[in-house]
């Protein structure tokens, strides 16, 4: 099965004052580069979903724009999955600096077993660290067209496999692995954490 790694970089970074959070530096590298380094070894090819391709041209990764620009993260998942050459897209956010290649592999390894393969941490499903099969496309599009943008909203229509928190924790503390950087305060915390991990 061919799995495409899809990095979501379509957000407006409003809580970061409009500066693209994916391009912030952390531990000597831009956050999006850290994301790519974690995802690339586990997938067959890469794709970036962005509406500002000029900002990411230096990465040398194929890019697609949002099909439905105002559909939030669900729209980004749809756009990346629709454009993915593979049968499945492993989708992550561009602002997760501590993704772990082994945790990515944990999800990708089970891609053929269900329409959605997703880690659960406590009560939360990690929707932007999950595999989505092409079979999800009609269900996602139906939700978008109805203006119902909650990602888990279409899960009742497809087969979902959850990966337990304990499985993730064998490789990295889930609170670190799934941490994202949305605000200047979170960026400072992440920089301190990167220094400690190094």
CATH code for the domain of 123: 3.90.550.10
Q: Give 107-160 pLDDT, tens digit per residue.
A: 999 999 999 999 999 999 999 999 999 999 999 999 999 999 999 999 999 999
| Cα–Cα distance for residue pair 177/9, rounded to 1 Å | 18
pLDDT for residue 60 is more than 60: yes
Predicted model pTM: 0.94
Of 49, 34, 5, give the one whose Cα is nearest residue 181. Answer: 34
Q: Give 5-44 pLDDT, tens digit per residue.
A: 999 997 665 556 667 889 999 989 999 999 999 999 999 9
Domain count, the chain: 1
Q: For 173-180, what is the mean pLDDT?
A: 94
What is the extent of the structural domain holding 91?
3-197
């Amino acid at each position: 099965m061919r799995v495409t790694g899809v990095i979501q970089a379509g957000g407006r970074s409003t809580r970061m004052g409009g500066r693209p959070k994916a391009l912030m530096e952390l531990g000597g590298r831009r956050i999006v580069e850290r994301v790519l380094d974690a995802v690339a070894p586990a997938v067959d090819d890469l794709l970036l979903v962005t509406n500002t391709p000029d900002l990411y041209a230096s990465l040398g990764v194929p890019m697609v724009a949002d099909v439905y620009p105002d559909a939030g993260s669900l729209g980004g998942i749809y756009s990346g999955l629709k454009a993915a050459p593979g049968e499945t897209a492993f989708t992550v956010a561009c602002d997760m600096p501590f993704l772990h290649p082994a945790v990515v592999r944990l999800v990708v390894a089970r891609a053929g077993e269900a329409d959605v393969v997703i880690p659960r941490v406590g009560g939360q499903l990690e929707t932007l660290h999950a595999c989505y099969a092409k079979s999800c496309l009609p269900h996602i599009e139906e939700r978008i067209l109805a203006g119902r943008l909650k990602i888990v909203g279409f899960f009742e229509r497809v087969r979902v496999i959850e990966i337990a928190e304990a499985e993730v924790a064998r490789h990295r503390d889930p609170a670190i692995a799934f941490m994202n950087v949305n605000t200047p305060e979170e960026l400072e915390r992440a920089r301190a954490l990167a220094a400690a991990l190094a």
